[in-house]
Structure 1
Amino acid sequence: MTERLDVTDEAKALIQTLAATHGDLMFYQAGGCCEGTQPQCFEKGGYFPRMNDALIGHVEGFEFWVDRDLFEYWKHAHFTLDVLDGFGPGGFSLETPLGKTFKVHYRLFSEEELAHLPEVQRSE
């Protein structure tokens, strides 16, 4: 199977710090407006995916959801979750007070990878 999502070592370290402070986490990448397309980190249950949003994988054991419309646009791409110094556009994500912001790097899947992609779970 081809994985849809990876995470950098720097992002893993930040996720572990956030989990130690906040407990179970979740990630959501929206499709625009106030928060842009910046991935947001919340305490689990602090945000509820909308109907038909896509669960594309887990980072450090925590769900990573993508807005249904954004997923349709990026369904042929691999996501790598990274972290940068600075403040993201939304400011609602748990890493913001630490002067960090999550970012996703994209690359298109190869034809072989596309043939081995798992189905995504959709929210109801």
Structure 2
Amino acid sequence: MVERLALTEKAKALIKELSSTHGDLMFYQAGGCCEGTQPQCFEKGGFYPRMNDAMIGLAEGYEFWIDRDLFEYWKFSHFTLDVLDGFGPGGFSLESSLGKTFKVHYRLFTEEELKELSPIKRME
């Protein structure tokens, strides 16, 4: 199976730091403007995915959800979760208080990868 989500070492380290402070986490990538342009990290249960949103994988064991409309646009793309220094738009995500912001890098899947994609989970 080809995973839809990967993490940089910087993202893994920040997730570990956030989870030690906040407990279980979750990620949500919205499809709108401002905060929707980057993934948001919340305490688990701090945000509720909408019906038919897609969970594309786990970020260090924590669910990574994508807005249903955004997923339709990006469903042929691989996501790599990374971290940048600086304050992201909005500041609702947990890492904002640390002067960090999560970012996703995208690339298209190859023809071979498309045949082996891991399944997604939909919010019902």
Task: Tell me if TM exceeds 0.5.
Answer: yes
After the TM superposition, which segments of 4 or more aligned residues of structure 1 sit over 2 Å from their partners? Answer: none
Shift of 1:41: 0.2
Q: Which amino acid aligns with 1:103?
A: K
Q: Count matched residues.
A: 124
Alignment of 1:97 onto 2:97? yes
Unaligned runs of 5+ in 2: none
Q: Which amino acid aligns with 2:81?
A: L
Shift of 1:118: 2.2
- Determine the structure 2 residue equivalent to 1:85: 85
Shift of 1:80: 0.1
- Determine the structure 2 residue equivalent to 1:36: 36
Whether the 8 Å contact between 1:28 and 1:65 is mirrored in structure 2 is: yes
Q: Which amino acid aligns with 2:27?
A: F
Whether the 8 Å contact between 1:36 and 1:89 is mirrored in structure 2 is: no
Q: Give the share of equivalent positions with the same residue, in percent.
A: 77
Distance 1:41 1:75 in 2: 21
Q: Secondary structure of the residue that 1:16 maps to in structure 2?
A: helix
1:1-124 matches, within 5 Å, as 1-124=1-124
Which digits, 9 at most, give the CA deviation of each residue in 1:7-42, with x for residues without a partner?
A: 000010000000000000000000013413210000
Q: Secondary structure of the residue that 1:92 maps to in structure 2?
A: coil
Q: Secondary structure of the residue that 2:72 maps to in structure 1?
A: helix
Q: Which amino acid aligns with 1:108?
A: L
Distance 1:39 1:9 in 2: 17
The two structures have a TM-score, normalised by structure 1, of 0.98
Unaligned runs of 5+ in 1: none
Which digits, 9 at most, give the CA deviation of each residue in 1:25-81, with x for residues without a partner?
A: 000000013413210000000000000000000011000000000000000000000
